[in-house]
Amino acid sequence: MYKGLNIIFAGTPEFAVSALQSCIDSHHNIVAVFTQPDRPAGRGRKIIFSPVKQLALDTNIPLYQPQQLDKNEIEQLKEIEHDLMLVSAYGMLLPKTVLEIPRLGCINIHASLLPKWRGAAPIQRAIIAGDTHTGISIMQMVEALDAGPVLQTFTCDIYANDTGKSLHDRLTKIAADEIVNVLDRLQKNELHAIVQDENQASYANKLSKQEANIDWYQTAIDIERKIRAFNALPVAYSYINDERVRIWQAELCSTTASAPPGTIVSTDKHGIQVTTGDGGLKLTTLQLAGGKVISAQDFINAHNVDGQRFKSETAKNSIRASA
């Protein structure tokens, strides 16, 4: 077997872990791992290691967690003997000086079919948009965000019941299954980069918690897509009786009710039927603040919600202000 590449891996979240593991298990050599600095998370604000950091520690790979890639870190990078930097959801833009260090450059694993959905949240944006397929793009990195020439793509369907988590997990597996072969072909100079068509570019802006606040005046189709896209993070939510309710799963349903959007028009063991700006939505899995994720049946048993109305955060706050 021929000698593998010396690779610096840069990544942070769960999405990057499987690809890193595939590289560790291959004939290529991970000489260092770069990941985001430790940060507090959760209600207790405890310091939690990133998934990539934990894997690096478990496998005794030299680990670096710079706050930023400034002059000192760049000099440190130059001292690490490597052929290539492989990036996957690192969370930090690489300056030109870093991109030019490895002899084979820096390549990135991105969870969309570029140039569509450049940016931070391509998986969720694809579901919200109603796309029927997406994939993994392996691209040569340039200074502009996700704009470099594409070395190889792998397509995957988006199913009608896909959530952000299920699609994330499927794309993660594709990246892990394919990345070593891509590295082999790159080493053999068998890949030919294709320049992206800027006219076809679209951007997947970072998700915000506020964006998960359901606007019931939207169509049932748009709301159902958002609920799926934001499962399992940040999770769509609304308010009823001033209580915040996270909505994990919902189904489209027909309705002839003329009640204002957000009104609960019927409940049964199969779900809670709610009106929207166009069409009906049946909520099937919910969660009250501080509680467990439960079925609609359990929610109905614990709360009398017939005829009540879900409200967005804006509507809830405006009612309080006028009281």
Structure tokens at 102: 């490895």
212 by DSSP, 3-state: which? helix
| Percentages of the chain per state (helix, strand, coil), in multiples of 5 | 30, 30, 40
Q: Residue 255: pLDDT band by 50, 70, 90 thresholds?
A: confident
Mean pLDDT for the stretch of residues 214-222: 97
User: What are the chain's domains?
Assistant: 6-204 (3.40.50.170), 210-322 (3.10.25.10)
Tell me: pLDDT of 323 over 70. no
> Among 33-47, 60-74, 295-309, which stretch is predicted with the lowest mean pLDDT?
33-47
The CA distances from residue 153 to 14, 137, 240, in Å, are 21, 4, 44
Q: Residue 314: pLDDT band by 50, 70, 90 thresholds?
A: low
Mean pLDDT for the stretch of residues 289-301: 94
CA distance 252 to 234: 21
Return mean pLDDT, the chain: 94
Tell me: pLDDT of 263 over 50. yes
Widest distance between CA atoms in the chain = 75
Mean pLDDT for the stretch of residues 61-67: 96
CB atoms within 10 A of CB 211: 17
233 by DSSP, 3-state: which? coil
211 by DSSP, 3-state: which? helix
CA distance 310 to 12: 37
175 by DSSP, 3-state: which? helix
pLDDT on residue 90 = 97
Over the stretch 154-191, which tens digit does the pLDDT of each residue have? 999 999 999 999 999 999 999 999 999 999 999 999 99
Q: Strand 84-88 vs strand 63-64: parallel, antiparallel, or unpaired?
A: unpaired
Mean pLDDT for the stretch of residues 236-260: 94
> Among 26-30, 72-76, 200-204, 279-283, which stretch is predicted with the lowest mean pLDDT?
72-76
pLDDT on residue 124 = 98
Which candidate, 37, 45, 46, 7, places its Cα nearest to that of 24?
7
